[in-house]
Amino acid sequence: MKRIFLAIATCAVLGSCSKDFLNQSDPNKLTVDNYFATENDVLLAVNGVYQSLRSSDCIGENSGLYLEERSDNTGRNDYANSGEPFQFNDFSVLASNTWVKSHWSALYQTISRANVVLSNIDKVPFTSNDKKNGYIAETKFLRALIYFHLVRQWGAVPLVTTQLTTSDEVTAYTYRVADTVVYAQIITDLKDVLASGLPDFQTGDKIGRASKAAANGLLGQVYLTMARTVNDGQTTAHLQDAKTYLEACYNKRKFGQLSEIPYADVFDVAKKTTCPELIMQIVYKQGDATYSSSIAANNQAAGQTINSQKKATGIGGNVTPDLIDDYESGDPRMTYSVKFADTLIVRDYFITKFRDVSDAAGTAGYGGNDWILMRYADIILMLAEVNNYLGDETTAIAYLNQVRARAGMSDYATALLNASYKAKYPTLTLAILHERRIELAFENQRWYDLLRTMTTDELITYFHAKNASRYGNAVPQHFSAKDRYYPIPYDEYKLNPTGMYQNSGY
């Protein structure tokens, strides 16, 4: 925790730490007090919080290892050369896994940066309280977003909401608090965002920053997750709250039915600032060696040119045959999202959902793809989910049908006439889960969807029933009760074995 909250927090405002900083003789005396003097200083510090999201170890475009590869959508088959990353899809992660440690550190880096801003913003004179309150709201949104990731991946985690500047302060916060306490802070932060003067949507050069639509959508998802995973006796109340905030987000949309927006438009780099389905995204700059996107090129298989002008030499984004089997016949989302590479070194499906073959991206693969954190198909399917849990199947099906109609698929009632569909998805709950898998494939939603939909025992049954030959070299039958959460990184656990107690099974 010292490494996370002391060293990182002190340099957070500038976005990076130097080795000289880490070699200071007395890090306990390091402070950012002298940094915050002007409104522009605050803006740069808030930008630093956003910047930290881009990291592949945080929640940026190449962070799929921690979520999508944990699910049944993707993985990596080279267990010999992949080493520790192979453990994620194989459900064999160890507490000493350095990638888990990096992910934990990156998430807390964002929280540390947010806390630095919130702990120091009152020192700065603002000509407009609206601007100041806007910065506070944006920062609280980002802190809530990251704590939501942490609590779903680890359960109880340390909760820090202030800048830590001494070793004693760090030690005092080196303990895990109950998930209900973490959720309470997330809710408080997001309600503060909704009470702020942020716009419903950001536009122009502010696209990618927090908005009220995003806060409503995230808060709705938080309550839905609590209803399904937190044992606090408030399931129905949480579902009602989820419905309220998801509907608030939905009602802010700038379109009628989802079918008005072509599926391909959602991922078109030329339309990323105009597509009305997008609610929140991490912005990447096309053609820029430092701030460009690499996801299109990274996912392209050798011998292929559909994603990027950059020549690929590997297998691309590995797609499990298990996911391919879940696409319904004729679903155009499969045609858009994956492609079979029939070459000697590949002969497998790779991900084509993210593309930038423009001359601006060029042969270096400096793409302009933004990483989508939230879009309306996600909100609509969560509304289907929450209405289903509340017993309103008619409304749930209407939302489900919106997504299917946009994809050119038959409505739910017609789909049930297909014996294969009905056998695979005998309940509306499973039909919605299936639709989310197909619609949101490779967008880092699948693992959270599984955790939210199934109990631990149900997940064990689910993964153990998988056809291992359609999964890759990883073994889904390795899934056990411990795998619902990641292990607390060993270096964090050893700082306080009592307060930072290990998750069961590790």
Flag whether the pTM goes above 0.85.
yes
Per-residue confidence (pLDDT) for residue 11, from 0 to 100: 46
Q: What is the dihedral of CA 269, 274, 280, 284, to 10 degrees?
A: 30
30-64 pLDDT tens trace: 357 789 999 999 999 999 999 999 999 999 999 99
Beta-carbon count within 10 A of 430 CB: 12
Q: What is the dihedral of CA 451, 452, 458, 462, to 10 degrees?
A: -60
The angle that helices 393-406 and 376-389 make with each other, rounded to 10 degrees, is 160
Element (H, E) at 279: strand 278-282
Q: Is 386 in contact with 239 (CB distance < 8 Å)?
A: yes
CA distances from residue 263 to 272, 277, 375 in whole angstroms, order as listed:
13, 10, 12
Per-residue confidence (pLDDT) for residue 30, from 0 to 100: 36
Residue ranges of the chain whose pLDDT lies below 50: 2-30
388-438 pLDDT tens trace: 999 999 999 999 999 999 999 999 999 999 999 999 999 999 999 999 999
Give residue for tokens 């964002």.
110
Q: Which domains does the chain have, with CATH numbers?
A: 1-198+454-470+485-506 (1.25.40.390), 284-362 (no CATH)
Per-residue confidence (pLDDT) for residue 81, from 0 to 100: 63
Task: Look at residues 349, 399, 447 and name the one whose alpha carbon lies nearest to residue 89.
Answer: 447
Element (H, E) at 373: strand 371-375
